[in-house]
Structure 1
Amino acid sequence: MPAAARRNLTIAAAAAATAVAAVYDLWLWLTNYAADNFHNDFTFYYAAARLGLQHGWARLYDLGLQQQQLDAIESHITVAQLARYVSPPPLAWLVIPLTPLPYQIAYWAWSAVLAGALVLAWRLTAPDQGRASLIFLVAAVGWLPVIYGLQLGQPALLVAAAVACCSWLLRHDRPLAAGAVLGFLVLKPQLALLVPPALLVMGRWRAFAGAAVAIGLLVVASLIALGPQGTETYLARLAFASGVPENRSQTLAAWIPNLELTRAVQAVIAAWTLALVYRLRRGDARMPLSVALVGGLAASLYAHYDDLTMLGLAALLYLGAPHPRWTWTYLLGVVIAAEGFPIWGAGPVLAGELGALALLSVAALKHDDGDAEQHHAEGQHHTDLERDRQHVAIDGES
């Protein structure tokens, strides 16, 4: 079979498979929503925004007031260890424009915003293959981590779109804007925690400065809005959340029995990731940014299934940069591992993330060795030329 025919057949098969998966996932989303309109995380964002407007932002993390707001919208939800608002204040602020709307309309308006963020991230990162690039968008909808995040109303797609914009702006020589857009990371910081430090080790000083200013301003605004008492309450809520077993079950903490050892291993992974980013700092910015996302997820202290949306973004960034063709198979394996997470758990995904870092480390070392050999050869060539010039000069004098 000719190569062109094989390629067309592969594209057709991929389009059909992803379309079936996307339709099925959308059906799951709609049926779950129909069964219980309030069984999602947006309910807590909406309630938190109403709470802040009515009682002041200093009381945002008051569990009693959160319960009042949940009751006011008739959610039939009781505040519990996994059912409470513990996100940073800017996420509640972002939902303020939706609070005048009835809850159900607000939910679908928020879903439309998230869907727009998905399309934006796809447009900015999908490999340029014409209409075939639509397969990546359909595949995203058909991938469980993405559709699960959409169903919950999680802000992961907003963070993904921000990182995608950062990558695009870096490649179009707009570093300050590239950094500033990372202010969206405050919505859920653990999703891309290593991206700002990655900009620093890449030598993208202006981009890092833009990120530091944008994130810093939002942090300061949050501290002012919460006040000392509100900040203390927020830190207490975060400390409690970090101790909930479900929040650690999808991290390395589930596989290493000692928590202190786990934190040390996660710190080593973060340092390893930034060292690899430094190795890959020259050339296309998409490669080191994808590494920062993968390493950040592997080193995360707190993770949920929908957070793997960022792994999909990392894959698109990687595919957009120069890469060996065989790595397609590895990426596909990691995507399948994430799809089957409800069956076999987080282990295969974590192994895939660490394996990706290892493979990229080997590739980076080989690349450096190749550069060293090339520089040595160029130096030897220049030496030989200089020696030839000297011989010519001597012959001319004689």
Structure 2
Amino acid sequence: MKGSPRRVQTLRLLAAANLAGIGGLELALLLHGSRSFFLSIVGADFRALYAAAAIAQHEGFHRIYDLHAHEAVQRALLGLGPGDSNFVVIPMVFPAAFVLPMLGLLPLGPAGAWAVWTLLGVLALGVYLRGWWGSEKGRGMAIALALLSYPVFTNVLWGQVGTWLVLCAGECLRHLHRGRPGWAGIWAAGLLIKPQTLFLVLPALLGEGGWRALGGWAAAGAGVIGLSALLAGGEGLGRWLGLLMGFAAGYPAMVPEVVGAETMMSWRAWGALGERWAPPPWRPWIWAGVGLGMGLTALVALRPWWKGPRGPAGDPLHWLGLWAATPVVGWHAHPHTAVLALPALLAAQGTGRLPRWLLPFWALAPVAAWIGTTLGISLGLLPDLSGLGNWAAARTLFLIHLGLALAIGARSRETPSSSGGPPCAG
């Protein structure tokens, strides 16, 4: 950073104060929400996972995807009676194998389980991400930016599985760089917790790690699905597939707002908005544009694997483009899915291969959009529409990720230096 030592120190103090203010605001919102809106807003997605574990323990794994069973348990968790119409059931769509760890948290009760889940997730994420920064210099600020970013905040807010996604994405990248494509594929199989995140990963794995990588993914994936089928049985597996394909969309207590396509950070969100607001004759053209955008974004993001020359395996810059594109082309991708990009983003930023402003912009621009929209609503400058702040943050993330995917894909002919791998690749 240019300037006198005093000016540099002043700027660092200002940056730290701003981050502290953002962190304080996010913490205050979480604490207030955990008292007033626990499991209805704060921890809402955690509610579905906790309910699935409770159903598995008392009724059997074959019922963890039964929305009737979920409605009864989730109403009880919220303290709502059968006749209370102010209720939305949240389905649990993870493979049954991922429910097993939650069984160990059931004795703590919903509040205790959520607290442990949240604290362990944030601590584990912070510790893990430290290894992806290239040097000691600036590491603390980089990790603070990552943890205060909108994608991480929404993972904590909803009780999502972002730490697991980051771990799987990071270890896949690390093992590719170390020349262990089979292990890279095994770690990529952990992304089956959200199967929609695999759309671009599998072609890239095949292109970079060959059949060994894809074989590792298939073997580990077969283990996850096999264990899930063993736990849930044919009935449970059929219901799970039905939920994934949207066959249960007509369930009375699961309204469209559960999916919330308009507030996603994907191309699909634009189609959902067009479906709601555009004149009927325009809607097919809007969806055609959405499909074209998805296809072109996917092709550009995969360009490093089909348009050589390519640099060393596990190049974080190329994988940053792929992880940036993943939620943009995904059919179901809320802002919390953007955490997939964090290991590659920190690795590329920490080794000086990205502009210095990129990580702060990625972390804080969506937060600023969310806070600014919320203030605009409170001051009467914007309409009081449900989810408008999240919509603004998601649009910001969409543009950032789309820009990253296109910019990195366009540079794919450039051969990175041999030092371009993950700093913790050893």
TM-score bucket (shorter structure):
0.7 to 0.9
Query: Does residue 282 of the first structure (1) align with residue 297 of the second (2)?
Result: no
Matched, 1:46 2:50: yes
* SS at structure 2 position matched to 1:266: helix
TM value normalised by structure 1: 0.80
Does 2:117 align with 1:123? no
1:114–1:157 contact (8 Å) kept in structure 2: yes
The answer on 1:248 being equivalent to 2:297 is no
Question: RMSD in angstroms over aligned alpha carbons?
Answer: 3.1
1:207-226 equivalence runs, <5 A: 207-226=213-232
Mark the CA change 1:7 to 1:176 in structure 2 (over 3 Å): closer, same or farther: farther
Contact kept, 8 Å, 1:186 with 1:215, in 2: the verdict is yes
The aligned counterpart of 2:299 is 271
**Residue 222 to residue 264, structure 1, CA distance change in 2 (3 Å):** farther
Query: Structure 1 residues 197 and 42, CA, compared in 2 at 3 Å: closer, same or farther?
Result: same
Give the match for residue 90 of structure 2.
83
Residue matched to 1:301: 331
Change (3 A) 1:241 1:330: farther
Task: Check the 8 A contact 2:186/2:216 in 1, yes or no.
Answer: yes
What's the counterpart of residue 406 of structure 2? 358
Q: Give the TM-score normalised by structure 2.
A: 0.75
Say if 2:149 and 2:364, in contact at 8 Å, map to a contact too: no
Q: Which is richer in helix?
A: 1
Pair member with larger Rg: 1
Contact 2:162/2:339 (<8 A) preserved? yes
Call closer, same or farther: CA 1:352–1:144 in 2, change over 3 Å: closer
Q: CA deviation at 1:142?
A: 2.2
Deviation at 1:193, TM superposition (A): 4.3
Q: Secondary structure at the match of 1:353?
A: helix
How many percent identity over aligned positions? 21
The CA deviation string for residues 221-253 of structure 1, in whole angstroms up to 9 with x for no partner, is: 223433333233222222338974644222212
Correspondence list, 1:1-398, <5 A: 2=3, 8-39=9-40, 40=43, 41-73=45-77, 75-76=79-80, 83-130=90-137, 132-191=138-197, 193-203=199-209, 205-240=211-246, 244=256, 246-249=259-262, 250=264, 251-256=266-271, 257-258=283-284, 259=287, 262-278=290-306, 279=308, 281-283=310-312, 285-321=315-351, 323-324=353-354, 327-342=355-370, 343=373, 344-365=392-413, 367=414
Deviation at 1:33, TM superposition (A): 0.6
What is the match of residue 277 of structure 2? Answer: none
**Distance across 2 between alignment mates of 1:102 and 1:153:** 15
Counterpart secondary structure, 2:400: helix
Aligned-residue offset at 1:285: 2.4
Count of aligned pairs between the two proteins: 366
Of 145-154 and 251-260, more deviation after overlay is shown by 251-260
The 2-side partners of 1:240 and 1:81 are apart by 16
Distance 2:144 2:329 in 1: 29
Consecutive unaligned residues of structure 2, counting only runs of 5 or more, are 250-255, 272-282, 374-391, 418-426
Deviations 1:19-74 (A, max 9, x none): 22122212211111122332322121111011122222222211121123224545
Amino acid at match of 1:87: F
Distance 1:242 1:293 in 2: 29
Taking the aligned partners of 1:341 and 1:314, their CA distance within structure 2 comes to 24
1:320 positional shift: 3.8
Give ranges in structure 1 of 5+ residues lacking alignment.
372-398
Q: Which moved more, 1:115-124 or 1:152-161?
A: 115-124
Aligned partners of 1:281 and 1:288 also within 8 Å: no
